[in-house]
Each structure stands twice: as C-alpha cells, then as structure tokens.
Structure 1
Amino acid sequence: MSEHNRHGLPRSIPEPRKRLVRQRCGFGCVVCGSAVIQYHHFSPAFSEAKDHDPEGITLLCGTHHQEVGNWLSDQDVIKHNAAPYCQSKDAHRLVRVQAPLYVIAGTAIFFGTGDLITVGSEPALKIVVEEGRLLLNATFFDDAGRPTIKIVDNELSICRDTWDAQFVGKQAIVRESAGRISLRFSVIAPNCIYFEHLDFAFGTSRVVFRPDRFELWNRNGLAVGNSNFVLCSGGGIFIDESGPKLRNLRFLTYSSDRFVELAKTGQVQLLLSELGMH
C-alpha cells in the first residue's frame, strides 16, 4: 500500500486535524460507537483527496472500515457521519472517565494517567484523557520484540495478522492467538480502569498481571512474583536491557478474593477505602 496518493498526499493525518475529527464524531465509530477507531476519507476518497480536510474524514472501527464499498456503501458512510452514533445515542461503547483516575493492573494500583509501561525511553502503555474521554496508547510485541499491535489515541493499527483486538461495551480484549489473551481491560467506574489480564513481552523481559498476582520476568527467569498488593504513586513499570522494574511502590496486606470481588463489581470507592487510600 502506497504511503501517498496520486496527488502526493501522505496517508498520515496531522494530529490537530485528527482531533477535530474525533471531536465532531464523538470519539467513536460513527456507525457503532466503538472507541477504538480508524480514520476514513469519504469526501473525497483518499485516492482523490488533495488535503486532509477534517470535514471529509470520519471515524470507523476496524470492522466497519473493512466493510466500506461492500456491506457499507459510500452513502451509508455519509449518513452515519452526519449523525454519529456517539452524538445521537447513549455512547455505551465509549469510555468516559473522571479525575482522579486509578488504574488497577492485577494486584497493582497506579495513580493517575500517564506512562504505565515504558520500554527504554518510549511509552509502551499510556493512558491520557481528552475532554473526559479515555485515550489508550499501547504497543504490543511478540516474543522476538517486533511490534504486533499499536493503539495511538484509540486508533488501532494491526502490524501482524496473528493478533486480534475486540472491543465490546467498556471491555477490550487483545489476543495473540486463539488461545492466548495478552490484554483484557475494562472501565469499571468513571475513575477506574481495570487491567484484569496483561501479558506484555519485550525481548527477554515479560510483565504479567493476573487478578491475584503480578510477575516480572527478565533473562534469568522470574525476577518478581508477588500476590501482595502494590500501590504505585507514579512512574509505573520501566523496562531496559536489564529487565523490568517497578517505581514508587508501597506494599499492602489485603485479601485477594476481596480485592477481585470489589474490582470486578466496580466498587472502587469501597476498595480504595479498605486499602487506606481515602
């Protein structure tokens, strides 16, 4: 696929124009409201476009983007763009968050937004908020350290066809293969994101979160395996050549069964209170 059309217009859309498109479309697919999207030139089509005009670009999820020209006609796209799902109906597939934001990953709790996982100097898992909407930024790697899936401000890019990403309601599931889930997260309250399952590999390092524990692996094997609860007031997980590290930690003693019960049922305020965070 060429990176430029016949008029020399590059496929990459400047970020300020992307933001205008997101705002107009309600931050989700104009057909179904999915929060993870791709940008589609419809007036005119990208092949004929001479400029990235925000009014001629819309948001589609990966499924509906593939259906353009088949099950989804150009007129259908125009109709949905004029009345975006997330502007005219209950945006149940969008993520609305409130500050302060808490991120639960396995048995770790991170305060606020920002870089949760950093590889070298580059954030590999980052969460930001734009006008009250969650924007997920993530890069997932295979065991050889090659990028497989990238999500930039909720824009999904599949680098290898062995992975799958599914977004249903407020839950996201990323699979490396049919039997392996690499990421499962959901928004369980307006100010809490829950990473129930995260399996993140880069080179000889691996970060694994499960509901009842977390594990950090380096080239020598398991470096940290802990079922205690960890509060992280900033920084997150940093991976360099020596392996993964956790920053700014405080360890707590708490029932894992109780933690999972409250986290999965969205009782965040009660959970934080029992953890002594209020």
Structure 2
Amino acid sequence: MSKRRTSIPEKVKQTLREEVGFGCPVKGCGNPYLEYHHFDPPVHIAPHNDPKGMIALCAQHHKKADGDAYTIEQLHELKQDKANAAHVRGNLDWLRHEMLAVVGGSFYYETPVILEMDGVEVISLKRDTDGYLRLSVNMLSLCAEDRLVIDRNSWENIGKPSDLRSPPQGKELEVRYPNGDYLHVRFIELLSQAHADKRYNSHPLREQSAFSYPITAVEVNLVIEGTGIEFNPRSTNIGFGTMTDCFHAHCGTAITVSNSGIPWAQNPVVKKAPIIETESGGNVIRVDFRTR
C-alpha cells in the first residue's frame, strides 16, 4: 500500500475533529467521516500541520474546498462557529446508542470488532471518551492498488474507487472498486421492537432481553473479489455455510477469519497453513481451503 496522503499528527487530527464537533461543519452536512484541509496557507504554498490553518471536513466538502469553493475567511468562520459544532453533535446522537451489528445473517450486540481477517481488523466500531461510536475500516484485496482505510472516522486512504457514497449525516458509507471489491456499511436507528421485526423478522432478536430501544443497527455488505468471500446482512459466503438468525452479545469480535492462505496485496500478513477458522459468537468452524 502506498503511503497515506498526509502525515498529520494524531493530536492535530483530534484537535480538528473536536473543533467541529466530530462532524463536517458545513451547514446541513454533519458527516462524521472527516478529512483534513490545509487552507491558511495551502500546503502547495507552505507545507504545514498547524491546526490554526486547517479544518476538518467530509470528503465531499474537502474536495470543494480544494476547488476554492470557500474563502479563507469562510473557513475560519466555520472553525469558530461553536454553535454549529453543537448542532452537529446533536445530529450525531444516533452514534451514542448501543450497537447491534448485523452481518452474515446474525446479530451481534455491543461487539466492537465486526470482522477480523488474518490479523487485520477489517471493520470495527469502538467508542471514544465521549461515548460516540467511531468507525475503522481496513479493506483487504487481491489487488495491489490502494483500498479504503478509515481510522476512527478519519479518512486515511481511499485509492481510486469507481464509486463512493458518503451522504450527509454519515449513516451510509459505500465504496466500489473497478475489480469488484465492495463495501457498504449502513447505520439504521431501530426505534422499537416492531421496527426491528419489520426489518429483520428474526425470532432470536424478538426474544432477546439484552438491550432496549432505540438501538443503532450496523448492516455490513462486503465483497472481496476473487476470494469467494462475501458478507451481507442476510448471509455469509466463505466457502461454506454459517449459522444465520442467531443472537450474540459482548463477543469482542463477531467474525474472525484466520490462516486463510489468501495472498493479500493489502496489508499483507504472515501466511500459515491454508486453513480457515471462522468464529461466530463463540462457534468455530475450520475449513481447509485445499479441499475447495
């Protein structure tokens, strides 16, 4: 993987995220997935990481800022508009609900790592000190080109997707690459049991008593082209069938795939025997890829 687009210190990123209330400060946006724009001065004039001359924006509005859609004065006003920051925080209240990951046809309550593959946390949602869920993504691929990397809601790498959607309020993130690699993460506020029944019609979910509503459901769709690996809210394909319509709580990790023997071009790891272990809520299935 190529180097990340910037080498902004984490402390600077944190300052900029806090400054805008952890959401894009452009009116009507509030997207929580942020990049960092250097504007006073621009980096092509004087490279720097001075937070006084930087602002956190979503990918869409960062691109507009790069195209001079906003003046330096307007960007400074956005940085200083604390009322707007408070408004953004209020709009992101759904990120403070308890979390229910929906992947592979099963439900995982308060399980921070949704998918781990060969030692890489591909998708995880962990809370910051204020209790807000922060998304991390580290896409794997057989293709050597850059893939999406998000670190606690900070865009670190994107590559060259054929399509990218991240609407205002940040309740969806969808990215597709020319070779077929695909990720769609969707956040849905389930307001009641009736709402959950209508969407999932799941007996285990209906009968559980581990949580109360409202709760934030996180639906995951993932395709890693050429590997046969495909996850969606209804089913899982890793060369075998897995349990569906099950409920698990506080697992730590929802699905773990290890020792796959897959020659990852992204974030390569040490390969062992080509055997896959998939853990789903404490249930482990082993499959030797040599038999496929």
TM-score by length of 1: 0.71
Q: How far apart in 2 are the matches of 1:209 and 1:227?
A: 11
- 1:231 corresponds to 2:248: yes
Q: Is the alpha carbon distance of 1:200 and 1:246 closer, same or farther for their aligned partners in structure 2, counting shifts above 3 Å?
A: farther
Q: Is the alpha carbon distance of 1:67 and 1:86 closer, same or farther for their aligned partners in structure 2, counting shifts above 3 Å?
A: same
- 1:194 corresponds to 2:220: no
| Alignment counterpart, residue 227 of structure 2, candidates 177, 187, 204 | 204
Partner secondary structure for residue 245 of structure 1: strand
Partner deviation per Cα, 1:44-100 (whole Å, 9 max, x = no partner)? 322345642223221111111111243222222122122167425354653543475
Counterparts in 2 of 1:86-235, with a 5 A limit?
Answer: 86-89=84-87, 91=89, 94=92, 96-98=94-96, 101-105=99-103, 107-130=105-128, 131-142=130-141, 144=143, 147-156=146-155, 157-176=157-176, 182-188=183-189, 192-201=215-224, 204-210=227-233, 213-217=234-238, 222-231=239-248, 233-235=251-253
Partner deviation per Cα, 1:228-262 (whole Å, 9 max, x = no partner)? 32425232222231346124347xxxxxxxxxxxx
Q: Which residue of 2 aligns with 1:11?
A: 6
Q: How far apart in 1 are the matches of 2:83 and 2:149?
A: 25
Q: How far apart in 2 are the matches of 1:169 and 1:26?
A: 13
- CA-CA distance at 1:223 after TM superposition: 1.0
Q: Which residue of 2 aligns with 1:266?
A: none
Counterpart AA for 1:128: K
Q: Which residue of 2 aligns with 1:270?
A: none
Counterpart AA for 2:58: C
- CA-CA distance at 1:143 after TM superposition: 5.5
Gaps of 5+ in 2: 191-212, 261-274, 284-292
Contact 1:37–1:62 (8 Å) recurs in 2: yes
- CA-CA distance at 1:181 after TM superposition: 6.3
Contact 2:113–2:124 (8 Å) recurs in 1: yes
Q: Is the alpha carbon distance of 1:137 and 1:197 closer, same or farther for their aligned partners in structure 2, counting shifts above 3 Å?
A: closer
Q: Is the alpha carbon distance of 1:170 and 1:58 closer, same or farther for their aligned partners in structure 2, counting shifts above 3 Å?
A: closer
Which deviates more from structure 2 when the two are superposed, residues 75-84 or residues 124-133?
75-84
Q: Which residue of 2 aligns with 1:23?
A: 18
- CA-CA distance at 1:17 after TM superposition: 1.9
Contact 1:162–1:177 (8 Å) recurs in 2: yes
Q: Is the alpha carbon distance of 1:113 and 1:59 closer, same or farther for their aligned partners in structure 2, counting shifts above 3 Å?
A: farther
Q: How far apart in 1 are the matches of 2:278 and 2:145?
A: 21
TM-score by length of 2: 0.68
Q: Is the alpha carbon distance of 1:191 and 1:46 closer, same or farther for their aligned partners in structure 2, counting shifts above 3 Å?
A: farther
Partner secondary structure for residue 71 of structure 1: coil
The count of residues paired between Structure 1 and Structure 2 equals 237
Q: How far apart in 2 are the matches of 1:90 and 1:64?
A: 15
Counterpart AA for 1:173: L
Partner secondary structure for residue 195 of structure 1: strand
Contact 1:128–1:136 (8 Å) recurs in 2: yes
- Alpha-carbon RMSD across the aligned residues, in angstroms, is 3.3
Partner deviation per Cα, 1:172-198 (whole Å, 9 max, x = no partner)? 131416999631311415874323341
Higher relative contact order (CA 8 A, sep 6+): 2
Higher strand share: 1
Q: Is the alpha carbon distance of 1:85 and 1:162 closer, same or farther for their aligned partners in structure 2, counting shifts above 3 Å?
A: farther
Q: How far apart in 2 are the matches of 1:195 and 1:20?
A: 27
- 1:41 corresponds to 2:58: no
Counterpart AA for 2:24: C
Q: Is the alpha carbon distance of 1:27 and 1:86 closer, same or farther for their aligned partners in structure 2, counting shifts above 3 Å?
A: farther
